[in-house]
Amino acid sequence: MIDIHSHILPGVDDGALTIEDAISIAKLAVDEGITKIIATPHHQNGTFFNRKQDILKRVKELNYVLQRENISLEVLPGQETRIYGSLLDDFKKGDILALNHTNYLFVELPSGHIPRYTEQLLFDVQLKGLTPIIVHPERNAEFMENPEKLFNLVKKGTLTQVTSSSLTGHFGKKIQKFSMQLIEANLTHFIASDAHNTSTRNFRIRESISKIHKEFGIQTVYYFQENAELLIQGQTVYKQEPSHIKRKKFLGFF
């Protein structure tokens, strides 16, 4: 199993604080059945700045430690970049890191709103041959209020990734139900952990897969698993035609 979103790198953001923490997270990942995990430290979120070359160095160091500890987990390089106007300029400069050196790029939005320039920037990202992936859209208040805005972005080529803990209800019932609606409407393409630690923000991958299997069937489970595999290989992922989440149904669902 592959997890494309984690904060396993020690001492760089609000994830693992020490190498011991990173080892504990890695052991828990193995227990979850994860064999490959992308380290995606925060970048440009106002608090943390983790540039491409620094991440590559730290990923190499962590893989060495895990091999020494006989932990069967491979860490791949990535970055969770908060959206900002000069993102593409910094990509050209070499500060921004796509996921595992592919053309897939994580983009994080603020939790409370969608910046006005978002649609244009995501369009420009695609013009550069990159595929943007909005992380945890189910936790964005403006998407929850107006899911049509997410539909429009997905329709124009943006992908999304829902967090496993959202599906299991650990961020609350409203976010859980919205997450299920995103799957039902083909508005998300990946499920990942966004794991930060082994307690409050852990993997819950198995639990989320069980939930998806129960609600949508095994083919939907395979869809997400295969997309993660295709992503790390830099291949074209599966996309299904998105549909609208009707506002009346959306509000009534809560």
Q: How many domains does the chain have?
A: 1
Q: Percent of the chain having pLDDT more than 90? A: 96
pTM of the model: 0.95
What's the chain's average pLDDT?
96
The per-residue pLDDT for range 45-57, each reduced to its tens digit, is 889 999 999 999 9
pLDDT score at 254: 45
Residue in the structure block whose two tokens are 């000069």: 86
Is residue 21's pLDDT more than 70?
Answer: yes
CATH of the domain at 76: 3.20.20.140
In whole angstroms, what is the distance from residue 41 CA to residue 27 CA? 19
The per-residue pLDDT for range 207-217, each reduced to its tens digit, is 999 999 999 99
Structure tokens at 139: 């936790």
For residues 40 and 106, is the Cβ–Cβ distance under 8 A? yes
Range of the domain at 103: 2-253
The per-residue pLDDT for range 111-159, each reduced to its tens digit, is 999 999 999 999 999 999 999 999 999 999 999 999 999 999 999 999 9
Q: Which amino acid is at 215?
A: E
Give the chain's end-to-end CA distance (angstroms, integer). 32
221: pLDDT confidence band, cut at 50, 70 and 90?
A: very high
Residue 97, by phi and psi: left (phi above 0), alpha (psi -120 to 50) or beta? beta
246: pLDDT confidence band, cut at 50, 70 and 90?
A: confident
